[in-house]
Amino acid sequence: MKISRRTLGLSATALSLPSLVQAQPATIKLGFTAALTGPFNEFGEGINRGAQIAVEECNKAGGINGRMVALAEVLDDQLVPDRAVQNLRRILDNREIVGLMCPSGSGPTLAIADMIQADGRPIINPQAQTPAIVYPNGLDKPPRPNLFSISISNTVESEKLAAALSQYSRVGIVHESTGYGVTGAELVRQELVKRKPGLRVTVESYNQRAQDMTAQLVRVQRANAEAMLVIGLGADFAVIRRNMSRLNMNLALFGAAGAVTMPYIEGAGDLVAGTRAVNHAAFGRRPMHGAAAKFVDLYRAKFGTDRWYGQDAANPLISLAATVGSGYDCINLLIDAIRRAGSTNAAEIVQALDQTRDFEGATIQKISFTPQNHVALKLEDLGTYEMLKRGDRVVLELRD
């Protein structure tokens, strides 16, 4: 019996189809653990939302080569390192997860960094700032092969802060007694001394939620500081600002990125006028660059002008970048890499990530990675802002 070529062709296709279908699961699954609830959920729930927006946007456009993307494992660790470890183990046990995002906060991220490095699957860091997360053996040594970061690294932030502070000859740095605060302060101090060897720096630490910072402030005062930098969170920054007014301290005041959040504005009220801060430049520039504007519109459409966005529809909070935008960019980077790699194999995705060039993210205009450099955020992606009162609202205006 003569079997036509067409039949043969069709049969061959029919026979191979099942194996095609079996070889790849339908959805591409991503996962992460973050502080979804608890006192730090501003950051964890933020990157969750950013991730959701990214996934929805991707799927609406047809997914990755026809395959849908899903956030298959989203776990809550409340910024407790132990729980992050347990959660990550559970995520890693799920062999279908092909890409991950780091937890919020340096504590949990440091706790899981070795684990994920041993596993090999790609992971991108949205928020944690400690350099040791990306470069465990020092900044001059290679980074963890499969860990990439788009967060504001303490090193870059310290450069920007030092640039702003180096005009003074005596500077005080007051930091919270956590890893973030200690490392941040040390790096800024080093940068300042490098730029201006004669600069005198006084460093003081405070406990989170301390009620009174007089000891720290009078020591800074005693050192005749002309400017003061606070590295910590918004609520504590508010306490410091109020304390300063009680002590009649008037010097140039600077805050690191984590300090100029809503709690600072809410707590210090009118006193915030004149505070300068370093933060993502993306949402402060006018006009915003393409991806930033698009992200901001997507967020407003899905969630409205809520506590992450702020009340002014035209001017979203600058902190939206760090809290939500970073999650959006992480997921998009993973999606882009998987698309370019054309596979969900861990090594191939990592390779594709290492080849990322000028990817337009919402928080960073041009994201690039190389095998030696896994920190995407550069000096030009940060801006120095000044807080002003415009009418009855406090705004952050980009200065530089």
CB of 312 to another protein, least distance (A): 18
Return the residue of 56, 82, 306, 380 that touches another protein, per CB under 8 A.
82
Residue among 89 and 285 whose Cβ is closer to another protein: 89
Residue among 202 and 365 whose Cβ is closer to another protein: 202
- Tokens matching residue 133: 């997360």
Return the residue of 9, 25, 39, 274 that touches another protein, per CB under 8 A.
39
CB of 245 to another protein, least distance (A): 6
| Residue at token pair 């788009």 | 150
d(CA 399, CA 191): 21
Residue among 172 and 361 whose Cβ is closer to another protein: 172
Residue among 241 and 276 whose Cβ is closer to another protein: 241
| Residue at token pair 């940068």 | 191
Q: How far is CA 234 from the centre of its chain?
A: 17
d(CA 31, CA 12): 37
Residue type, 108: P
- Tokens matching residue 285: 């520039």
Return the residue of 62, 65, 169, 212 that touches another protein, per CB under 8 A.
212
Confirm or reject binding of residue 143 to another protein (CB under 8 A).
Answer: no
CB of 242 to another protein, least distance (A): 5
**Sheet arrangement for strand 200-206:** 200-206, 170-176, 227-231, 252-255, 276-280, 382-390, 393-398
Confirm or reject binding of residue 177 to another protein (CB under 8 A).
Answer: yes
Confirm or reject binding of residue 90 to another protein (CB under 8 A).
Answer: yes
Residue among 72 and 271 whose Cβ is closer to another protein: 271
Q: Comparing C-alpha atoms, which of 106, 47, 112 is closest to residue 83?
A: 112
Query: What are the counts of helices (DSSP H) followed by strands (DSSP E) for the chain?
Result: 13, 12
Cis, peptide link before residue 18, omega less than 30° from 0: no
Cβ-in-10-Å burial (0-12, 13-18, 19+) of 287 comes to exposed
Q: Comparing C-alpha atoms, which of 256, 329, 323 is closest to residue 292?
A: 329
Residue among 42 and 191 whose Cβ is closer to another protein: 42
Strands 28-34 and 69-76: parallel
Return the residue of 104, 149, 178, 326 that touches another protein, per CB under 8 A.
178
d(CA 363, CA 6): 53
CB of 131 to another protein, least distance (A): 11
Confirm or reject binding of residue 388 to another protein (CB under 8 A).
Answer: no
Q: Residues 226-265: x/- map of binding to another protein (CB under 8 A)?
A: --------xx--xx--x--xxxx-------------xx--
Instruction: Give the binding site for another protein (CB under 8 A).
Output: 36-42, 75-76, 78, 80-83, 85-87, 89-90, 92-93, 107, 110-111, 113-115, 118, 130, 132, 136, 177-179, 181-183, 204-207, 209-212, 214-216, 218-219, 221-222, 234-235, 238-239, 242, 245-248, 262-263, 266-269, 271, 307
